Structure 1
Amino acid sequence: MKSKMMCTLTLLASGWTGFVLANGNVLLQQCQDALNVVDGGAGKSAFGGGVCLGKIEGTLDGIEMARGYYSASSGKTLPPFICPPESVTKEQQLRIVVKYLKENPEKLHQHEVTSIALAMASAFPCGKP
């Protein structure tokens, strides 16, 4: 019984820690590492840099998936939130996110997915439908 409770508390604590750390401060550090590597330097953490790139791609994929799900389930088309040109590269996306985070330090407390979405939406706004 005692070991089950300790296991449950450990899992809850680790989940909470992951959520608390999922903010712009951590994202900026990870993305800055990725950008340093892209620019030919050395990042503090190659793993962190890879995590950043995965978070950007996952966020953008998640937004599109949510739009598709909404359209399929409601029969209505949800207007796009982000309208990047087809030619935008992963490196450009990385630079956009780093620039946004550096220029908006007052928003670093926000969840990293929010920060990525806002960075991309500010760089690639959609016109009125």
Structure 2
Amino acid sequence: MRKSIAAASALFALCVSTGALADGNKLLLECQDGINSMSGAVAQNGVGVGHCVGVLQATMDTLDLFHEAGGLPRLVCVPEGGIPMIQSMRIIVQSLQAHPESLHLNESVLVVAALKNAFPCQ
């Protein structure tokens, strides 16, 4: 139980610690650029695309870590073998566009919410 509480506290701290620096507005632009560049266009901001990929991968890895090492229940249940990065980007962009009232929130919180909606656990 203590491990679960500690893991949940660490996840919460991670999500709010960068809130002022990284929100959905920036992530939306970066991930849209990432989709375009993975579809054959030239990236407008290669560093931003890398940031989008990093946030998505780090958030998914952190969710897995807290489940495996922290003993927390799975929050997101992606299909066996994972999903392509461009699919992750599309899910995030669709969610951010559907909820513009939430763009001020921390990007990791928004990624978790989008993935939970796309891949709920039974």
Q: What is the TM-score with the length of structure 1 in the denominator?
A: 0.75
Alpha-carbon distance in structure 2 between the residues aligned to 1:80 and 1:65 = 10
Alpha-carbon distance in structure 1 between the residues aligned to 2:25 and 2:108 = 12
Alpha-carbon distance in structure 2 between the residues aligned to 1:38 and 1:59 = 20
Residue 41 of structure 1: aligned partner: 41
Residue 80 of structure 2: aligned partner: 86
Alpha-carbon distance in structure 2 between the residues aligned to 1:36 and 1:89 = 15
Identity of aligned residues (%): 36
**CA offsets per residue over residues 83-122 of structure 1, 9 Å max, x none?**
1102421111111011111111011011000010011110
Task: Determine which of 93, 118, 122 is the counterpart of 1:123.
Answer: 118
Instruction: Quote how far apart the aligned CAs of 1:21 are.
Output: 2.5
Size of the alignment, in residue pairs?
A: 104
> Equivalent residues in 2 for 1:99-110 (5 A)?
99-110=94-105
Alpha-carbon distance in structure 2 between the residues aligned to 1:38 and 1:98 = 14
Alpha-carbon distance in structure 1 between the residues aligned to 2:98 and 2:42 = 23
Aligned partner of 2:40: which letter?
A: G
> Equivalent residues in 2 for 1:10-21 (5 A)?
19-21=19-21
Structural RMSD (CA): 1.3
Higher relative contact order (CA 8 A, sep 6+): 2
Aligned partner of 1:83: which letter?
A: C
Correspondence 1:112 to 2:107: yes
Instruction: Quote how far apart the aligned CAs of 1:67 are.
Output: 1.9
Q: Which runs of 5+ in 1 are unaligned?
A: 1-17, 72-77
Alpha-carbon distance in structure 1 between the residues aligned to 2:42 and 2:96 = 20
Detail structure 1 runs of 4+ shifted over 3 Å in the superposition. Answer: none
Conserved? CA contact 2:33–2:49, under 8 Å: yes
Alpha-carbon distance in structure 2 between the residues aligned to 1:111 and 1:19 = 5
Q: What is the TM-score with the length of structure 2 in the denominator?
A: 0.79
- The structure that is helix-richer by fraction is 1
Over 3 Å counting, the alpha-carbon distance change for 1:19 and 1:110 in structure 2 is closer
